[in-house]
Amino acid sequence: MSSNGQAHRPRIGVALGDRNGIGPELVARLLADRSVAERAQIVLVGEPAVAAFGRRATGLEYAVEPRLIEKSFCPEEPIGSGKVSARAGAEVLDQLATLLELAKNGEIDGIVFAPLNKNAMRLGGLSHGDELDFVIERLGFSGIAGELNVLGNLWTSRVTSHVPLRDVAALITKQSVYDAIVLAHRTLRAAGNAAPRLAVAGLNPHAGDGGTYGDEEIREIAPAIERAQAEAIDAKGPFPADTIFVAAMRGDYDAVVSMYHDQGQIAMKLMKFGSGVTVLGGLPIPIATVGHGTAYDIAGKGIARADGLFEAFRICCEMATALSAARSS
């Protein structure tokens, strides 16, 4: 609580995302909701013309004008073209870099960014594996970090992420599985779950079936789970990946630790595409975004739903508030 008795409003930095996708429209829908401004102080980073495009496309105006950090990175670049653009990708990198600098300087408490396109970013100068690696380097962070996906009350973390499928098996080690379990446990606790229940998926069909279809479960995954359990982390498994999400949807677990990107992502997106959230967990500042892409095919039409961005904003606010309370206690 603040000195005047009101709940602390975190300062959340918002990036407009790829100008050629639906990001500006999603941000317009988010900032048109008065409850958003009541919940957090908004710092918006991007080019004013891009923000204005989002408002025109949706027919909405911001409920409260945010603090705008104007970044006119490429004013001559078209907006809402629905195409991959190197300059738009470079602009997104500039937005993220600006927000991360604000975070390092203590000017914001959390970051929410609208959809970006990895191909555009790579054409625009991204030399990292993905935006998480970019964030880690900019923050100078050396701890355990990774992407987690959220749909309602169900979270997933993954041992490997944006790597070719042929490389996955070699990356499944006792340490990497343990790190993914710890990341899920710590991030859920940071989001307000005091006692997360984790299920760990296997890598192979039927979780290896006792070594019949592969032995990574025996050699690497099970020992990692046992190590986590010895540290009072509620983790169970390894379970066959094709059935564990049924139990998770039923409410038996709060999170599933998957072994590779599509193992968890396909299941989550089939449950309810468009409402999911991606959290960059383990970092010193909460960072969240939507669980879907730029949707170039409907850019500028004003029909994109912002459910995922609203949920990313909610999670980021809750994590930022909890982190602030922990630091002041």
Which pLDDT value is given to residue 273? 62
Same domain, 84 and 180: no
For the segment 193-212, the average pLDDT, to the nearest whole number, is: 96
In terms of pLDDT, which residue wins out, 269 or 119? 119
Same domain, 151 and 258: yes
Domain encompassing residue 244: 146-272
- What does the pLDDT look like over 214-226, one tens digit per residue? 999 999 999 999 9
For the segment 270-299, the average pLDDT, to the nearest whole number, is: 90
Same domain, 185 and 119: no
CB 204 within 8 A of CB 191: no
How many domains does the chain divide into? 2
Assigned domain for 308 exists: yes
Rounded to an integer, what distance in angstroms lies between the CA atom of residue 90 and that of residue 93? 5
Rounded to an integer, what distance in angstroms lies between the CA atom of residue 40 and that of residue 42? 6
Same domain, 42 and 102: yes
Token digits for 246?
């049924």
Which pLDDT value is given to residue 270? 86
Same domain, 123 and 32: yes
| CATH code of the domain containing 291 | 3.40.718.10
Assigned domain for 277 exists: no
Assigned domain for 82 exists: yes
- Domain end, chosen from 272, 295, 321, is at 272
Which pLDDT value is given to residue 31? 98
Which pLDDT value is given to residue 68? 93
Rounded to an integer, what distance in angstroms lies between the CA atom of residue 122 and that of residue 80? 19
Residue 274 has pLDDT above 70, yes or no: no
For the entire predicted model, the pTM comes to 0.89
- The mean of the pLDDT values for the chain is 93
Which pLDDT value is given to residue 329? 67
Same domain, 105 and 156: no
Same domain, 153 and 132: no
pLDDT category of residue 7 using cuts at 50, 70 and 90: low
Q: In what order do the strands lie in the sheet with 287-290?
A: 67-70, 41-46, 11-15, 110-113, 287-290, 277-281, 146-151, 154-158, 255-258, 198-201, 235-239
- What does the pLDDT look like over 84-118, one tens digit per residue? 999 999 999 999 999 999 999 999 999 999 999 99
